[in-house]
Amino acid sequence: MGTSLIYREMQRYGVRPSDPSLFPPILKACLSPRSPYYGESMHSCLIKQGYESFASIGNSVVDFYMKSGDLKSALASIDRMQNRDSVSWNIIIYSPLNLACRNVGAYHEGLEIHGFVIRSGLSAIGSIQNSLLSMYGYVNKGSARILFDEMSDKDVISWSVMIEGYLQTEEADFALKLFRKMVSEDGIQPDGITAPSVLKACRRLKDIDMGKLVRVVVIERGDYGDSFIGNSLVDMYSKCNAVASAFQVYKEMSRKNNVSWNSMLSGFVLNEKYSEALSLFNLMGEKGIEVDEVTIVNFLHICKRFVFESLCKSVHCLIIRQGYKLNDLVINSLIDAYAKCNLVDLAWKLFDDLKGRDVVAWSTMIAGFTHCGNPDEAVRVFCEMSQTQEKLTVTTILNLLEGCSI
């Protein structure tokens, strides 16, 4: 018998819990979608018996209302609590509801929480400011910047949250400006959270000089062995066309994970270092590194470059064994690889078997027929595509025009 069901039976026979420790688990059980009424009933019982003043019980009540999505009742409950502790504030500030405030639909609830923070005299607490900053960063960059500028004691988390906020809105230039200000004016060094965000901005802006500076700071802080930072450095150097530097970082990484191998493999492919990519792929096999969709797509690029017909078929078998035959990214890449390896019949069979074709699949098949010198087939596929709901892209049209010029 469930906890909430037991409580219902107690209510039925007029029995009230006399032990305060019974209330928290019952309230937790009342979080079931069918039991909110019993949670409210339990709250009434608590008030009548004078138990709401107990910090642990009051916190359970607040937690119940927050997780039920009833912010108004949660704030009213915490206002009535005589003995609040750090748990009380954490439930309000760091609850799932506060995370939900990161979407525009729940923005007004975030404002209510902010108002509660101000009324309670908690607005100067750094951890709470950072939480509010994170919430605003997702839904209102202007409010986030105002709050950030008003903070008298910014820590590395404050700067990191704001930098990541700019990256979320594709403002990498502002992210780097903020990073420079963080280091030069406040003298704060990037940590394991800040560094990857800054490196992401460097990658987008092709600012390799700033990326090198971050690498120096990372080495000085002793964070160079961190795989997350190492992977970010490999990715940054690769996207800035400095694949030799990317490989140097990769070799120096003491702890490599699957992302490390794929980042380096992608870097070689992106910079058209196909022989190096093939060697790395073979090494992955020797080391028993797990193959995922990123690995497969990169290896298919290698197959296209060297026109490895037999290897392309082997990868197809691997795709089936690994359960990726329904993965659009993988299958579209395989169609492209078959066509570039002059196996257009196999490419067409794959395409023809697709139940849901996206614009990439159509464009890839048109390009495949064009590459293999079959302009009539390319035009036929284009006409078939025009009968669907898929919108034409520049790539699709260019592929068709190339076929028509053959």
pLDDT in tens, 362-404: 999 999 999 999 989 999 998 998 888 777 777 777 766 776 6
Last residue of a domain, one of 57, 77, 93: 93
pLDDT at 196: 93
Last residue of a domain, one of 73, 93, 113: 93
The verdict on residue 373 lying in a domain is yes
Per the structure, the complete domain to which residue 50 belongs is given by: 1-93
The verdict on residue 87 lying in a domain is yes
The verdict on residue 305 lying in a domain is no
pLDDT at 192: 85
The verdict on residue 195 lying in a domain is no
The pLDDT tens digits of the residues spanning 189-226 come to: 888 889 999 999 999 999 999 999 999 988 888 776 77
pTM of the model: 0.74
The pLDDT tens digits of the residues spanning 56-87 come to: 777 777 777 777 767 777 777 777 777 767 67
| Tokens matching residue 131 | 């939480």
- Amino acid identity of residue 217, one-letter, is V
CA atoms within 13 A on the CB side of 154: 24
The verdict on residue 221 lying in a domain is no
The verdict on residue 238 lying in a domain is no
pLDDT at 362: 93
- Amino acid identity of residue 321, one-letter, is R
pLDDT at 205: 96
The verdict on residue 403 lying in a domain is yes
pLDDT at 251: 94
pLDDT at 44: 62
| Tokens matching residue 58 | 């009051």
Long-range Cβ pairs for the range 314-319 (8 Å, 24+): 316/346, 318/291
Which residues are within 8 A (CB) of 369 and not within 5 positions of it... i.e. 6 or more apart?
339, 344, 375, 377, 378, 381, 403
Number of domains in the chain: 2
pLDDT at 117: 79
Task: Please name which of 81, 49, 50 lies closest in space to residue 65, comparing C-alpha atoms.
Answer: 81
When computed from its CA atoms, the radius of gyration of the chain, rounded to whole angstroms, is: 29
| Tokens matching residue 308 | 């490895």
Last residue of a domain, one of 93, 108, 135: 93
Reported in sequence order, the residue ranges of 135-222 that DSSP labels E, i.e. its strands, are none
| Tokens matching residue 133 | 């900053």
Distance of CA 193 to the CA centre of its chain: 14
Asked if 137 and 99 count as a contact pair (C-beta separation under 8 A), the reply is no
Residues of the chain with pLDDT under 70: 1-54, 69, 84, 86, 89, 92-106, 224, 399-400, 403-406
The verdict on residue 58 lying in a domain is yes
Task: Please name which of 331, 325, 323, 338 lies closest in space to residue 297, comparing C-alpha atoms.
Answer: 331
